């Protein structure tokens, strides 16, 4: 994952070239043939070494001497390498090395996937070591068998665990091999054991039978009508039985149960095998096909290059005006002096838009006194947008933020190119801009998990939204993230239309993916709620807690797509101008938004809501409570600032992307990155020109509350896909709603309704719990007849 991420993040610099081994096929053929020939040579050397090793022993010290001759069929090289690997190495077991090299060579030569032979290498090496140890133990007098490694390791082990310990280790290693590699289980042993012991069992059951009689008799013994002689007998039998088993009737039952238990154990073993098999199945699938790769359908997708973004500063970075710094410092010191506040120390940090002056007042000065001087300091500096942070959290100093006379733009390019963003180990990384200390600030949208954005008109909201969207376009493959865009202003997000079939999600049967009509928003929001419920069902079925775990499990092929499981992309709902939406649709949007905000975080649906008017009737308590992350551009009043941030400050910003951001705790002042419309256009053009999916990502169908829930057999009221659905069900002979969902791309609710209608029409049987419903019509011909009959009646 990290690997793919890296390749993606460096995408802009056309990294794929460096990563994709363009010449690798040729290299593989050459290297593969080398390995094949080398392994053959090695094998020949080994074989001939066994015949000639003693004769060649003497020349080993002078291998480099040209005059020396060796008897090995591969001469001095053969003699030397065999000596090294067999005598000084692992002994005869190393003979499997050429075989492993040979297979690897073949794989390379034929360009097959090498990961398939990982286990061959692992277990090959394991066996070499095991045999070497084994020979080293049992045939230590013959150095060729176990090699120096076998001998020395044995020697070492014996010093610590003794001979018996070594034998136990060898047995344990063998068991590991048998169980893991050969899937050997004690089951096989117990089966043969049970066969062998059938006769013995019979005898045992006979004994049991005897036992029964015996105890029955012993029960009878408590009846008063017994003769003393029979009592004696009973006692005797009872005693002979009690040696094997307990005396009371309850415990006697236990014996029977125990005898049944033996069967149960076998059955249990079978269940265990089943589990193992399914685990093995996923392992095998992964071995054969590799992990599921969601990006495979658009495998050649190229991430946009960083060159598409403009460098506004063209490498200049922030310019520090010493004179301005000095002047401001003097003004601050003088103003405070006027109010009898002495400063012990002052430090300036220059950011892109504001400079932070951190002051340490002399001992005994009250912080609130400085805080109250905000306006006076602003007046003396004759600057807007001064913000006093008293004290700076975690620092014990007082901060005075003063806007720079010449603020510098933070180009999107600089934040996208930053290491912080490129190497961000985040699910949905966003490069928001730069902090006051000029560091790139990245956040994970998945962790927020929803974002509320406010700012008066012209202060940088739309740019902020574009920054978020472009950040994700630079990091996430179209398979991994989908956007649902709501743009009542109709102009802000239109550029993203070009990437509809890559990155956008929409309702089925709608033309435009970007929603500009407020009434359609309601359907989309409800559809997202259905998607959320469906995803929760999938998560429940997969027994995972969140989308990340789910996708990991799906990639490891542990979830069966036949059961409706699929790779789940993140869905990000962006609403520009939320106030407008609330005005026109009111409660109808508020309820699904609040529901999504409350519940959607675990299943990968995240909301970003922007508004010009952060008044309390727009951002209601319910919405606020579920949007811990807030992004505030300049607003016009203190009240607005409080509504959005629960604190003042946003009214003192200077605009043009100057913003305050909080994720629920500290407020951070940031300069939002700047990305202009032409840049976004270039990016969307670049993505849009590449191969895309057949359609936008389809959200579940939502046909509105009024479309009727009651099920009756009224032909007029049937869903317009009723017949198609019937055909699908009959062809597959499987009455399940999820089948309809998949085949007809329907929402869960609609598919469920159709199934109910099919039941009312007598095409499928009644609900049978987790099983699919029975299909009552055998073929399509019978369906035609049935429908015709209905029409006529």
Give the residue ranges of the annotated binding site for ATP: 455-462
Q: What are phi and psi of 246, to 5 degrees?
A: -70, 170
Residue whose CB is less far from ligand ATP, 460 or 478:
460
Nearer to ligand ATP, 660 or 737 (CB): 660
Q: Name which of residues 629 to 658 contact ligand ATP (CB under 6 A).
A: 656-657
| H helical segments located in 290-347 | 322-338
Residue among 488 and 592 whose Cβ is closer to ligand ATP: 488
Q: How many C-beta atoms lie closer than 10 Å to residue 212's C-beta?
A: 14
Point out which span in 131-139, 456-464, 733-741, 756-764 binds ligand ATP (CB under 6 A). 456-464
Binding mask 376-415 for ligand ATP (x = CB under 6 A): ---------------------------------x------
Smallest distance from ligand ATP to CB 655, Å: 7
User: Please, how many CA atoms are within 13 Å of residue 440, restricted to the half-sphere of its CB?
Assistant: 21
- Tokens coding 430: 């966003």
Q: How far from 267 is each of 16, 190, 197, CA to CA, in Å?
A: 53, 12, 18
How crowded is residue 657: how many other Cβ atoms within 10 Å of its Cβ?
26
For the segment 209-228, give every residue that binds ligand ATP (CB under 6 A): none
Angstrom distances, CA of residue 393 to CA of 75, 150, 774: 77, 64, 66
Q: Binding residue for ligand ATP (CB under 6 A) from 458, 561, 586, 664? A: 458
Nearer to ligand ATP, 397 or 671 (CB): 671
Measured CA to CA, the distance from residue 754 to residue 737 in angstroms comes to 8
**Residue 462 binds ligand ATP (CB under 6 A):** yes
Instruction: Report the alpha-carbon distance of residue 637 to residue 652 in Å, rounded.
Output: 9
Q: Does 468 bind ligand ATP (CB under 6 A)?
A: no
Residue pointed to by tokens 């053009």: 685
Q: How far is the CB of 652 from ligand ATP (least distance, A)?
A: 17
Structure tokens at 747: 């929402």
440 binds ligand ATP (CB under 6 A): no
Closest CB to ligand ATP among residues 83, 613? 613
Cβ neighbours of 519 (radius 10 Å):
10
Angle at CA 170, nearest 5°, toward 167 and 175? 125
Of the candidate spans 99-107, 232-240, 367-375, 455-463, the one that interacts with ligand ATP by CB under 6 A turns out to be 455-463
Site stretch for ligand ATP (CB under 6 A), options 220-228, 280-288, 450-458, 722-730: 450-458
Contact residue for ligand ATP among 455, 688, 700, 747 (CB under 6 A): 455
CB atoms within 10 A of CB 638: 14
Which C-beta is closer to ligand ATP: that of 489 or that of 788? Answer: 489
Nearest CB to ligand ATP, comparing residues 500 and 580: 580
Residue closer to ligand ATP (CB basis): 405 or 457: 457
Contacting ligand ATP (CB under 6 A), which of 459, 652, 738, 749?
Answer: 459
Nearer to ligand ATP by Cβ, of 415 and 539: the residue is 415
CA torsion sign, 241 to 245 to 246 to 252? negative
Shortest Cβ 380–ligand ATP spacing (Å) = 27
Asked if 318 interacts with ligand ATP (CB under 6 A), we say no
Q: How far is the CB of 420 from ligand ATP (least distance, A)?
A: 18
The torsion angles phi and psi of 631, rounded to 5 degrees, stand at: -130, 115
- Least separation in angstroms between CB 491 and ligand ATP: 9
- Closer by beta carbon to ligand ATP, 409 or else 786: 409
Among 12, 78, 361, 460, binds ligand ATP (CB under 6 A): 460
For the bound state, the minimum distance from the C-beta of residue 350 to ligand ATP, rounded and expressed in Å, comes to: 17
Torsion 746-748-753-754 (CA) sign: positive
Contact region for ligand ATP (CB under 6 A) — 168-176, 396-404, 461-469, 540-548?
A: 461-469
- Residues facing 360 on adjacent strands: 345
Residue 252 corresponds to which tokens in the numbers above? 């006697």
DSSP 91: G
Candidates 414-422, 458-466, 563-571, 749-757: pick the segment binding ligand ATP (CB under 6 A).
Answer: 458-466
Judged by CB, which is closer to ligand ATP: 580, or 759? 580
Distance CA 206, CA 199 (A): 11
Least distance between ligand ATP and beta carbon 714 (Å)? 49
- Closer CB to ligand ATP, residue 409 or residue 732? 409
**Considering only CA atoms, which of 86, 106, 90 is closest in space to residue 40?**
106
Alpha carbon distance 522, 581 (integer Å): 10
Rule CB under 6 A: choose which of 413, 461, 750, 773 binds ligand ATP.
461
Least spacing, CB of residue 412 vs ligand ATP, in Å: 9
Nearest distance in Å: CB 462, ligand ATP: 3
SS3 annotation, 590-648? HHHHHHHHHHHHHHCEEEEEEECCCCCCCCCHHHHHHCCEEEECCCCCHHHHHHHHCCC
- To ligand ATP, the closest distance from the beta carbon of 750 in angstroms equals 37
Q: Counting contacts by CB under 6 A, is residue 463 touching ligand ATP? A: yes
CB of 763 to ligand ATP, least distance (A): 53
Contact between residue 716 and residue 502 where contact means Cβ atoms under 8 Å apart: no
354-361 and 451-454 strand pairing: unpaired
Span 599-618, contacts to ligand ATP by CB under 6 A? 612
CB-count exposure of residue 548 (10 Å: 0-12, 13-18, 19+):
middle
d(CA 618, CA 655): 22
**Nearest in space to 529 (alpha carbons), one of 594, 461, 613, 621:** 594
Residue 429: beta bridge partners? 444
| Strands in 395-473 per DSSP E | 398-403, 429-435, 440-444, 451-454
Ramachandran area for residue 441 (φ above 0: left; ψ -120 to 50: alpha; else beta): beta
Note whether 674 binds ligand ATP by CB under 6 A: yes
Binding mask 703-742 toward ligand ATP (x if CB under 6 A, else -) reads ----------------------------------------
Q: Of the two residues 8 and 461, which places its CB atom closer to ligand ATP in the complex?
A: 461
- Binding-site members are 455-462
Smallest gap from Cβ 493 to ligand ATP, in A, equals 11
Q: Decide whether 100 or 659 has the Cβ nearer to ligand ATP.
A: 659
Q: Which is nearer to ligand ATP, 442 or 462 (CB)?
A: 462
Measured at CB, which residue is nearest to ligand ATP? 657
Q: Under rule CB under 6 A, how many of the chain's residues touch ligand ATP?
A: 14
Q: Using alpha carbons, select from 537, 521, 507 the residue that is nearest to residue 750.
A: 507
**Residue 471 interacting with ligand ATP (CB under 6 A):** no
Contact between 49 and 83 (Cβ < 8 Å): yes
CA–CA dist 736, 754 (Å, integer): 10
Check binding of 457 to ligand ATP (CB under 6 A): yes
List 672, 729, 758, 783, residue binding ligand ATP (CB under 6 A)? 672
Query: Does residue 661 belong to the site contacting ligand ATP (CB under 6 A)?
Result: no
Strand ranges (DSSP E) for 498-580?
505-506, 570-575
Residue 586 main-chain phi, psi, to 5 deg: 50, -130
C-beta separation of 310 from 411 below 8 A: yes
Residue 3, token pair as written in the block: 């690997």
Give the footprint of ligand ATP on this chain (CB under 6 A). Answer: 409, 455, 457-463, 612, 656-657, 672, 674
């Amino acid at each position: 994952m990290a690997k793919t991420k890296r390749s993606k993040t460096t995408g802009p610099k056309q990294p794929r070239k460096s990563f994709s081994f363009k010449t690798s096929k040729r290299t593989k053929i050459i290297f593969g043939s080398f390995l094949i020939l080398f392994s053959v040579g090695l094998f020949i050397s080994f074989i001939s070494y066994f015949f000639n090793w003693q004769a060649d022993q003497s020349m080993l010290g002078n291998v480099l001497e040209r005059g020396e001759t060796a008897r090995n069929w591969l001469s001095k090289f053969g003699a030397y390498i065999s000596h090294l690997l067999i005598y000084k190495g692992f002994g005869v077991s190393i003979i499997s090395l050429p075989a492993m090299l040979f297979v690897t060579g073949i794989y390379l030569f034929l360009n097959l996937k090498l990961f398939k032979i990982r286990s061959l290498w692992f277990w090959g090496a394991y066996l070499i070591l095991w045999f070497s140890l084994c020979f080293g133990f049992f045939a230590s007098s013959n150095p060729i068998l176990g090699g120096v490694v076998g001998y020395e390791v044995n020697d070492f082990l014996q010093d610590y665990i003794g001979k018996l310990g070594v034998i136990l280790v060898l047995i344990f290693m063998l068991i590991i091999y048998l169980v893991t590699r050969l899937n050997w289980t004690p089951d096989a042993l117990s089966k043969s054991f049970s066969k062998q012991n059938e006769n013995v069992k019979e005898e045992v059951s006979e004994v049991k039978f005897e036992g029964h009689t015996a105890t029955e008799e012993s029960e009878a013994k408590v009846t008063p009508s017994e003769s003393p002689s029979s009592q004696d007998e009973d006692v005797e039998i009872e005693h002979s039985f009690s040696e094997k088993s307990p005396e009371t009737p309850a415990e006697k039952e236990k014996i029977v149960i125990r005898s049944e238990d033996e069967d149960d154990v076998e059955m249990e073993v079978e269940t265990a095998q089943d589990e193992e098999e399914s685990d093995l199945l996923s392992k095998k699938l992964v071995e054969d096909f590799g992990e599921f790769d969601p990006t495979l359908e658009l495998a050649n997708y190229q991430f946009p290059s960083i060159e598409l973004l403009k460098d506004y500063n063209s490498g200049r970075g922030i310019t520090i005006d010493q004179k301005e710094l000095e002047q401001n410092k003097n003004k601050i010191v003088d103003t405070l002096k006027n109010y009898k506040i002495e400063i012990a120390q002052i430090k300036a940090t220059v950011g892109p838009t504001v400079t932070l002056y951190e002051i340490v007042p002399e001992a005994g000065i009250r912080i609130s006194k400085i805080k109250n001087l905000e306006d006076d300091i602003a007046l003396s500096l004759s600057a807007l947008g001064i913000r006093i942070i008293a004290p700076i959290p975690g620092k014990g100093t007082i901060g005075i933020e003063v806007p720079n006379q010449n603020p510098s733009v933070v180009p999107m390019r600089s934040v996208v190119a930053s290491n912080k963003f490129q190497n961000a180990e985040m699910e949905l990384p966003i490069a928001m801009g730069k902090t006051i200390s000029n560091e790139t600030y990245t956040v994970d949208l998945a962790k927020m998990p929803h974002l509320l954005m406010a700012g008066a008109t012209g202060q940088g909201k739309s740019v902020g939204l574009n920054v978020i969207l472009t950040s994700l376009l630079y990091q996430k493959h179209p398979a991994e993230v989908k956007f649902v865009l709501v743009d009542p202003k109709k102009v802000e997000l239109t550029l993203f239309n070009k990437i509809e079939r890559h990155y956008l999600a929409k309702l089925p049967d709608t033309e435009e993916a970007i929603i500009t009509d407020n009434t359609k928003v309601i359907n989309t929001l409800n559809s997202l709620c259905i998607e959320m419920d469906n995803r929760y069902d999938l998560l429940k079925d997969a027994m995972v807690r969140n989308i990340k775990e789910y996708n990991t499990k799906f990639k490891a092929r542990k979830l069966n797509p036949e059961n409706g499981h699929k790779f789940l992309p993140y869905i990000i709902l962006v609403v520009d101008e939320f106030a407008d939406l609330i005005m026109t649709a009111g409660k109808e949007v508020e309820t699904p938004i609040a529901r999504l905000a409350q519940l959607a975080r675990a299943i990968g649906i995240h909301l970003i809501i922007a508004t010009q008017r952060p008044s309390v009737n727009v951002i209601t308590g319910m919405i606020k409570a579920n949007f811990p992350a807030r992004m505030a551009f300049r607003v016009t009043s203190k009240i607005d600032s409080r509504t959005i941030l629960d604190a003042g400050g946003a009214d003192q910003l200077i605009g043009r992307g100057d913003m305050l951001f909080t994720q629920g705790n500290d407020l951070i002042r940031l300069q939002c990155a700047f990305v202009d419309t032409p840049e976004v256009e270039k990016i969307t053009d670049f993505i849009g020109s590449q191969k895309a999916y057949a359609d936008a990502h389809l959200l579940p169908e939502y046909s509105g509350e009024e479309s009727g829930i009651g099920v009756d057999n009224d032909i007029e009221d049937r869903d317009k896909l009723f017949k198609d659905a019937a055909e699908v069900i009959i062809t597959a002979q499987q009455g399940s709603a999820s089948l309809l969902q998949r085949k007809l791309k329907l929402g869960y609710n609609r598919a469920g309704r159709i199934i109910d209608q099919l039941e009312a029409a007598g095409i499928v049987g009644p609900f049978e719990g987790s099983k699919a419903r029975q299909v009552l019509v055998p073929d399509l011909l019978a369906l035609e007849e049935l429908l015709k009959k209905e029409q006529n009646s």
